[in-house]
Structure 1
């Protein structure tokens, strides 16, 4: 696993280093990141035992590609857009959205998205995203940071006598394993392509 400290993440490799152009591109990337998260949330891939959305894939890959600061700005922007009532979450709709939706069963997972984005950004700062094992390890940590507050919130909301793990964990493990593998191949692959292009 790559543990050498490296202060650059993917987005910083393709953006200018200083000046107004950098700020404009950062703003554009945050807006594009919010749109990417909203679109990924609405993609449902048929799978057993439940259909899989691409939200966690988008959250974790974006965190790694953007780094902790821009990743955090993007995920918070996404949540603000959702809180304002826009239909940007996986199970939200024109009728069920905004803060009411966010305080429902999905609330803990939304908090987990913030924690996971930050964790993936910090891991990318350390170079974990440049190798398949490193990215896979970061994704495992990120997934845990999504599930822990998600399951805790379900327990608080519905009661610990309910089948919390059956509702909020076990049906999603197969899909998350596939998304983990995809991201673990994609992000290091982009680093390799970028290195070849610049080499």
Structure 2
């Protein structure tokens, strides 16, 4: 397992536990903030969350990325206004629930691939970010289809987001290798 970008950027006297706690808390707060950078759509709003989830996985690695997204989900379920629609356990049964679970899957997947050294160049960043995005939308559309039907889930929960996801992936594929070169 290789060093993550977070390890490379934050080395020094801070204890590992303090560093990990700070990264998890900071990451969950960043993910919460990204939920509120949104374009309202029905039944699922377009937010910057997918971009942040992918970057969390790529910079923190699997274990910390999973801890970060899990913390975010617990914080939102506990009632903090961390989700795009606010907070509370009921959101984990609503139209966005599959996407939220997909965030956890994607963070773990992208983090695992980053732990294996992927994402340090544009060529190796493209497949990990596409894989992460596919994981999010597979989970999201699968759950949404149980609520509104498969065809409606594709039309309302995938198609409107495709162009924005291409832009977010391009941004992530530019930023991550750039950060590695400067680390």
TM-score (norm 2): 0.92
Q: 1:142-186: per-residue Cα shift (whole Å, max 9, x none)?
A: 0110011111111112234x5221110000001000000000000
1:44 corresponds to = 38
How far apart in 2 are the matches of 1:148 and 1:44? Answer: 21
How far did 1:139 drift? 0.7
Is the counterpart of residue 35 in structure 1 residue 29 in structure 2?
A: yes
The 8 Å contact of residues 116 and 142 in structure 1, kept in 2 or not, is answered as: yes
Is the counterpart of residue 191 in structure 1 residue 176 in structure 2?
A: no
SS in 1 for 2:81: coil
What is the CA RMSD across the aligned residues, in angstroms?
2.1
Matches within 5 A, 1:94-105: 97-105=87-95
1:124 corresponds to = 114
Is the counterpart of residue 146 in structure 1 residue 140 in structure 2?
A: no
- Check 1:58–1:188 CA distance in 2 against 1; reply closer, same or farther (3 A cut): same
How far did 1:20 drift? 6.4
SS in 1 for 2:119: helix
How far apart in 2 are the matches of 1:180 and 1:72? Answer: 20
Q: Which runs of 5+ in 1 are unaligned?
A: 1-5, 195-199
Q: How many residue pairs get matched? A: 181
2:53 corresponds to = 59
Q: Which runs of 5+ in 2 are unaligned?
A: none
TM-score (norm 1): 0.85
How far apart in 2 are the matches of 1:60 and 1:147? Answer: 13
1:13 corresponds to = 8
- Check 1:164–1:52 CA distance in 2 against 1; reply closer, same or farther (3 A cut): closer
